[in-house]
Amino acid sequence: MRERPRVITRRQARQYAIPPTGEAEPPGRNLERLDAPIYLAGPSHSEAPISIDVAADCSNSWEAHRAALIIAHPGHELRVHHWLERAKPLVLVLTDGSGHTDQSRLGRTTALIERAGAAPGRIYGALSDRALYRAILAGDADVFIALAQEIAHVLDHAGVDYVVGDAVEGANPGHDACRLIINAALMRIEATRGRRLGNFEFTLEGPPDACPPNDRDAAIILTLGEDAYRRKLEEAQSYSEMAIDLRRAMHSHQLEAFRTECLRPVRYGLEIGDCFEHPALYEGYGEQQVAAGFYTDVIRFRAHLAPLAERLGRAAAQVKPAGAP
């Protein structure tokens, strides 16, 4: 029996255009109104969680474990396409990828992950891009706390052993917020269940084949053969909604670098200020967009992301073990 979605309060649903509890829409539907999100109540995974204790490292036997991919925007899965094919993870996507266009990218991602043998999960386009950035600017941590709580529930109920998701790079506040939500969700699972899930990240702006020497032993590193590399490139070339992003990535990195997929162990929690140089790249970009008249406000790390991380940490610290009074 499908569980009742329980992500966001009705107040937040009205404010951020998130469907209230119990409502669901099919994946891939184009937006019909500004900020109308897509929220998919996906497979219920009613089986009991498996009891494998992978602690912080399942890199040497990852194909035997249940995985989840958690990304901020549809299209990020292209960076780890071959891992997606082999791990066949449960896929959670925070936003619909609509950006400034108000056109969802979820349909393209849904088709891609299904061809790879993966499946969408219950959090799937829960926010439009506009709503995500509006919540960050407003300092409405309740939205992100509720997402972390729901993601923890989904991962625990599905018996997920390890998670792969966006890295903190200081390039896009949505990517960094996604990682904060992931880490907060895993903290909740450890606090309530005493189970530490494997936690891995991949770059979206940095070199796709970069893996620090100290991380290599614990990382999942895939070097793609010709067939896997061809499939990855074909998927990328057919993802027309990502054309601008892909051209920028190809300009920044050698094409051959995308033959390697490096999933690095995450060695930080909610203190992400040391993960990138300051000011964050998104601050300079935001200033340019404000000057051009596209944005009205600039998202800044210290004013917006740092307080969000602190609120997520306080909320996670209040979680009690299962069965505690």
Is 42 in contact with 24 (CB distance < 8 Å)?
no
pLDDT at 60: 66
pLDDT at 306: 98
pTM of the model: 0.83
CA-CA distances (angstroms) from residue 119 to 8, 123, 275? 23, 12, 31
Contacts of 181 (CB under 8 A, 6+ apart): 70, 94, 144, 147, 148, 151, 312
10-271+283-317: CATH topology is Rossmann fold (3.40.50)
User: Which residue reads 């005493």 in tokens?
Assistant: 194
User: Which residue reads 């052993």 in tokens?
Assistant: 161
Segments of the chain with pLDDT less than 50: 1-57
pLDDT at 101: 82
pLDDT at 62: 92
pLDDT at 28: 32
User: Which residue reads 């019909």 in tokens?
Assistant: 32
pLDDT at 37: 31
Q: Can you tell me the distance from the alpha carbon of 278 to that of 115, in angstroms, rounded to the nearest whole number?
A: 40
Residues 24-47: tens digit of each pLDDT: 333 332 222 223 332 333 333 322
Per-domain boundaries in the chain? 10-271+283-317
Q: Can you tell me the distance from the alpha carbon of 169 to that of 129, in angstroms, rounded to the nearest whole number?
A: 18
Output phi, psi for 320, to 5 deg: -105, 150
